[in-house]
Chains A and B, each alone.
Chain A
Amino acid sequence: MAEARRGPTAALTVALACRDLSVGYGARTVLEGVSLEIAAGQWTAVVGPNGSGKSTLLRTLAGLRKPNGGRIELLGRPLSAWPRRERARNLAWLAQASAATELTAGEVVALGRFAHSGWLAHRKADDDAAMHRAMLATGSLSWAERRLSTLSGGERQRVHLARVLAVEAGVLLLDEPTTHLDPPHQEDVARLLREQAHRCGVSVVSAIHDLSLALTADRLVVLGDRGVIGHGTVREALAGDWLSAAFRTRVDIVEHDGVHLWRPALAAPPRA
C-alpha cells in the first residue's frame, strides 16, 4: 500500500523485504501481490482476521513455503541464495502449534543452536550462554530437565520461544507467540519482544491475535481478505482505520494513558 511507505519510517533500514509475493495452496490463492519491508530493529505485529494469511505470510518469509511468485530478500540478499545453515542462524521461526515431545526443555532449546553447533552437538561456551540467556528471559530455566510432554501448553510455548531466542538470529518470525499464555505472561512475551527489538536490535515479526497486545508493537502489518491493507506505524494504522477495513466491521480502538486498547462493542456504554 502506498500510504504505508510514506512518512519518516521510509528512512529505516530494511531487514526483510518481499515484492509482489503471491502464495497459494493448490488452486487457492492466499496472498497476492504482497510487498512489505520489515524494518530492522523494530517489533512488527501482523494482524488480520482468521484466514487472512498471517501464518502463510510468516511461513513464506521464513522460506518454509515456496511462493508462486515474487521475491523475498533477507538482509538485502535473496532468501533462496542463502546457504541453509547460515540462513537458520540469521532467521528463526516459531510455529503456531508447539509440539509436545519426549525431549526435555533443555534439549529443545539446545536444538535452537543446531545451526551453530551442527550434528554432533559439541556445544561451546557461547552455545551454553545463549541457551541460558534465552531460558532465563522466557522464565523457562527451572524446567530445563523436565520433559516437554509434562509441561502445560503455556509452559511449552515459553520453552519453544526460548528455543527461537537461543538461535540469536537477527530476524525473528513468530506465529502467535502468545497463544496458550495467560494475560500476564502474554505481557511478558510482548515486553520481551520489544526488548529484543529495541535493546538487541533484533527485527521481530509476530502474528498476534490480541489487538490490544498487537497495538503495543512498533509497527503493524494489517492483512485483509485480499492481501495487505496497510503497513506502517501503529499511529498510521489507527489514523487510516486499517483495522476496520481488515475485519470488515467497526474496530473501536480507544486511547487510555497513551495505551491503545481495543474496545469490544459489547463493552460500550449503552447509548442514552
Chain B
Amino acid sequence: MSTLRPALIGTGTGTATSAAASRRLGVWLVCCLGATLLFTAGGLLIGTSSIETSWQWLLAPDAQSSVVLWQIRLPRTVGAWFAGALLGLAGAIAQGVFRNPLAEPYLLGTASGAALGVTICLMLVDASIGGLAWFDKLGITGAACIGACAATLLTITLARGVLQTASLLLSGIVTAFLLSAVTSLLLLTKPEVWREMQTFLLGSTAFIGWSSATLLGAVFFLCVVPATLLSRGLDALSLGEETAQSLGLSLPWLRLTLLGVVALATSTSVGQVGIVGFVGLVAPHLVRETLSVNHRQLLIAAPLCGGALLQAADLISRSIIRPAELPVGAVTACVGGSYLVFLLWRRSRDG
C-alpha cells in the first residue's frame, strides 16, 4: 500500500491524467498546429490565380501580388481556420450537452434558420433598387446570425425549455423542416435569388475578408473561454443528468449557457462561410478516436482539429478543379461523410 500516494490522484491542475496520456495529447496538439501552419502556407500558395503569384511576390513584391496574398488568400485561410474551429467547438459542446456522439452544431435548427435569414435578406436587397452597400455587406452575415439565433430560440420554445433532451432533438428537427419549407416557398416566388442562395447553402470560404476573419476570431475566443470554464459541467453531465444535478449543478442554467455558446458559434460560422457540414460532427470524433479525453481537453482539441480540417477542405476545394472552385461544403461532405462511413465499417468489423 506504500505506493499509493495521495499525489497519485492529486496532481496538477485538477484532472488526473497520467503522464503518458498528457504526452499523447501534447503530441496531438502539436500535430494539429503543424497541420494548420502547413495548410496556411498552402492557402497562401494556391489560389484561383496561378501559383506564380506567390513566387513573384517572394522575388519582387509588387502591389498586385501583395494584395492577392495579404488581402485575399491570407484572410481566407485564417477565416477558414476560425470557422472550422467554431464548428468543431460547437460540435464538441453539442455532443456533450446531448450526451450523444451523433449530435452536431446544426441540430438546433441553426442552419435552416440562417438560410431563411439569408433568403429574406437577399430578397430585400433585391427589392431595394441598387441596394444599400452597408446593408448588403452587413446584411447577409447579420441575417444569417439572426436567423440562426431565432431558430435556436424557436427550438427551445417548442421543446418547452432545455431540460428534455429528446424533445430538444425532436423540436430541432421540426424547426429545421419548418424553416426549410418556408425558405423553399420564398425562393419559389423569387427564382433569381436562387443562384445566390446556392453558394450559401453549399458553403464557401471565398468571401472571407479581413473583417470576416476578425469577426470569426473574436467570436471564437468569446465562445471557447466560457466553454472551457464550463467543461467540468460537461464532465458531470457525462455521468448522467440526475447525477450531475445531485453534484450541485444547475442543469437548466448549464444547458442554456452551453446551447447559447453553440448557437453563437454556429450562427457566426454559418453567417461567414455558409452551411459547411460534417466538420462539427467529425472533428470531435476524430479527437475521441485517437485520444481519451475529458471535456476540457476535448474543447481545446476539437476546435484545433476542426480548424485544420476546414483549411484542408478549403485547399482541396480551390486546387482540385483550378482555376474554378468547388464549394467547400461539398468537399467537407464528401471527406467527412466517407470518414463516418469508415468509422461505421470499422466498428461493425470490430464488433
Contacts and interface: CB of A to CB of B under 8 A. Distances in A.
A101 interface: yes
Nearest to A147: B292
Interface string A137-154: 000011011010100000
Interface string A80-99: 00001101110111010101
B101 to A, nearest CB: 11
Interface in A102-121: 102-104, 106-112, 114-115, 117, 119-121
A88 B247 contact: yes
Interface stretch (B45-53, B169-177, B210-218, B235-243): B235-243
Contact of A87 (B229, B248, B294): B248
Contact of B239 (A62, A99, A141, A147): A99
Contacts of A108: 239
Contact of B16 (A110, A142, A167): A110
A235 interface: no
B238 A120 contact: no
B247 A114 contact: yes
A88 B233 contact: no
Nearest to A95: B243
A64 interface: yes
A145 B18 contact: yes
B4 A136 contact: yes
A135 interface: yes
Interface in A192-234: none
Nearest to B247: A114
A93 B243 contact: yes
B246 A142 contact: no
Given A110-B14, A128-B6, A144-B9, A103 B238 contact: yes
A32 B132 CA distance: 67
Contact of B9 (A95, A121, A132, A160): A132
A144 B8 CA distance: 7
A115 B248 contact: yes
Interface string B1-35: 00010101110011111100100000000000000
Q: Place the interface of chain A in its size category.
A: 35 or more
Nearest to A89: B248
Nearest to A140: B9
B291 to A, nearest CB: 9
19 contacts: A64-B245, A84-B249, A84-B250, A87-B248, A92-B246, A93-B243, A97-B240, A102-B294, A107-B235, A107-B294, A109-B9, A110-B14, A111-B235, A111-B247, A119-B232, A120-B14, A131-B9, A145-B16, A149-B292
What DSSP secondary structure best describes chain B's contact surface? loop
Contacts of B16: 104, 106-107, 110, 144-145
B246 A103 contact: no
A88 B248 contact: yes
Contacts of B248: 84-85, 87-89, 114-115
Contacts of B249: 84, 114
The 9 closest A-B pairs by CB, nearest first: A88-B248, A106-B16, A121-B14, A128-B10, A115-B248, A93-B246, A101-B238, A106-B9, A132-B6
Given A102-B288, A114-B247, A132-B10, A121 B232 contact: yes
A142 B249 CA distance: 28
A123 interface: yes
A114 B236 contact: yes
Nearest to A101: B238
A129 interface: yes
Interface string B200-236: 0000000000000000000000000000011011011
B170 to A, nearest CB: 18
